């Protein structure tokens, strides 16, 4: 439905597109105090968050997350191959 497609329509959608939970609202109203102001974050496929105060740190974190993601993807592929091999052997 194009009325919600912000790539097609200009301005705001016809109605709300999300409903944040109370935890998200409270986090926005009362952000946690940190010794460093973080401006960037990235997550990996294992759910780890990497925070950075500078673009250089962020780029490093992206590289770290990419390494984790590549390992996770390789493990998934190997598990799928092993499952396929076990399935064909059982038949």
Q: What is the pLDDT of residue 1?
A: 62
Q: Determine the Cα–Cα distance for residues 73 and 44; give it in Å rounded to an integer.
A: 11
pLDDT band at 4 (very low <50, low <70, confident <90, very high): confident
Q: Which residues of 3-17 are buried (b: 16+ CB within 10 A; e: fewer)?
A: eeeeeeeeeeeeeee
Confidence at 74, pLDDT banded by 50, 70, 90 = very high
- Whether the per-residue pLDDT at 81 is higher than 90: the answer is yes
């Amino acid at each position: 439905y194009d009325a919600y497609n912000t790539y097609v329509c200009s301005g705001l959608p016809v109605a709300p597109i999300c409903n944040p939970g109370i935890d998200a609202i409270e986090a926005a109203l009362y952000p946690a105090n940190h010794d460093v102001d973080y401006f960037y974050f990235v997550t990996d496929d294992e759910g780890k968050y990497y925070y950075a105060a500078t673009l250089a740190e962020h780029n490093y974190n992206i590289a770290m997350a990419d390494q984790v993601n590549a390992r996770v993807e390789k493990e998934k592929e190997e598990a799928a191959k092993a499952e396929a091999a076990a399935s064909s052997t059982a038949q």
